[in-house]
Amino acid sequence: MRRGFMKKLSPILLLWCGTAMFAQTPSGAASAATTNEVNVTQIMGFEGTAKNTKGKLSIQDTALQFQKSGDTAVQVSLASIQDVVLGEENRQVGGLPMTLSKAATPYGGGRVVSLFSHKKYDTLTLQYLDSNGALHGAIFELVKGEAEGFRSQLIAKGARVVQAENKAAKQNAPEISSESK
């Protein structure tokens, strides 16, 4: 009696679990797509903030805002952004303590640790003009996979992209010349 009941129940349970699993993914993606705030490390260049500052980068109406936790926010107008470029970097984790401990590990063990103690991250490079027309460049480090979504949001809100246009022009140039021949 019990076995029969379990046999009937198990497909329903499987179906329910599967539905729940599939339901998780799209909702997560949707939340990632709608959010316009990302945790970043400002590597250098954003006016009014020190190098290697951790904080939140967000889009506020017509401005890009960087806010260090418990500190005043710094904003740059989206219209002043001249270029937004994505990049990818790979770096060793753990900083100086990790480097020292790896160096102290005998029989070259530190090198083996180095093989596994690296992390990939995205970089978001901005070029913008201030009120005097002076060029600024800022580099942000983001968790891998977050930069592309943020960049497209920036472009959608009015930030310019020059490099992609140039690359496209370069890619098209040989085709045009070969056609003309």
Partner 1 sequence: MKANSKYSALAAIIVMVILALPYRLAADAKSAANKSSTAQWSVEVDKINPGDVDLESAFQVAIYENLLDEVGKTKRFKQVFRSGDRNAKDVPDLLLLKTTVQKYTAGSETKRAVTTVSGATKLNVLSQLCARDGKVVLELTVEGDVHFFGSNLRATHNLARNVAKKIKESTLPDPSPAASESTAAASGAASNPAAKRPSLR
Distance of alpha carbon 145 from alpha carbon 160, whole angstroms: 21
**Count of residues near partner 1 by CB under 8 A:** 31
Query: Tokens for 106?
Result: 């005998």
171 binding partner 1? (CB under 8 A): no
Question: At closest approach, how far in Å is the CB of 101 from partner 1?
Answer: 12
Q: At what angle do helices 109-116 and 95-104 cross, to 10 degrees?
A: 140
111 binding partner 1? (CB under 8 A): yes
Question: Which residues inside 51-80 make contact with partner 1, applying CB under 8 A?
Answer: none
Beta carbons within 10 angstroms of residue 137's beta carbon: 13
83 binding partner 1? (CB under 8 A): yes
Beta carbons within 10 angstroms of residue 105's beta carbon: 14
- Closest to partner 1 by CB, 53 vs 60, is 53
The rounded Cα 46 to chain-centroid distance in angstroms is 16
Binding mask 12-51 for partner 1 (x = CB under 8 A): -------------------------------xxx------
Beta strands in 33-153 (DSSP E): 37-44, 53-60, 63-67, 74-77, 81-92, 118-129, 135-143
85 binding partner 1? (CB under 8 A): yes
- Using CB under 8 A, list all residues that contact partner 1: 43-45, 83, 85, 87, 89-92, 99, 102, 110-111, 114-115, 118, 123, 125, 127, 129-130, 132-139, 163
